[in-house]
Amino acid sequence: MQPELAPLKDIATAAERISRFVKGIDYPAFLANEEKQSAVFGQIIIIGEAANRLPAAFRAAHSEVPWPKMIGMRNRIVHGYDEIDWDIVWQVAVDEVPELIDLLRPLLPPEEVDR
């Protein structure tokens, strides 16, 4: 993989981690588990930061991936850490992250795809 695209692997890894962290739990269990919340929160930050580090030309060439949304979510939760809407975090984790994984797989070399 080209070094300037290394953040793409970071995004995929963080997304896969989020999927593992929420697997087998429901929303009330997520709300009751500070470790799960913190883990998902941290991976969302990584996703947004890594998306921002990708070259603008790469992001433009793959506009099907919601880069601005990913970067915006990172900014909102980092700068508004004291006002986290856990409903939104949960929805992102269970609905949007699996879609993101599907969008990223074709962009990664086969040896870089977590299975």
Q: CB–CB of 25/111 below 8 Å? A: no
pTM, full prediction: 0.91
Q: In whole angstroms, give the CA distance from residue 108 to residue 15.
A: 14
Give the SS3 label for residue 72.
helix
The set of catalytic residues is 74, 79
Q: Which residue has the tokens 């919340």?
A: 37
CB 75 within 8 Å of CB 47 = no
Residue 115 is predicted with a pLDDT of 45
What value, to the nearest 5°, has the Cα angle with vertex 71 and ends 68 and 75?
130
Provide φ and ψ at 80, rounded to 5°: -120, 35
**Mean pLDDT, each 10-residue run in order, the chain (115 residues):** 86 98 98 97 97 96 97 93 93 97 91 57
Per-residue model confidence (pLDDT) at position 2: 79
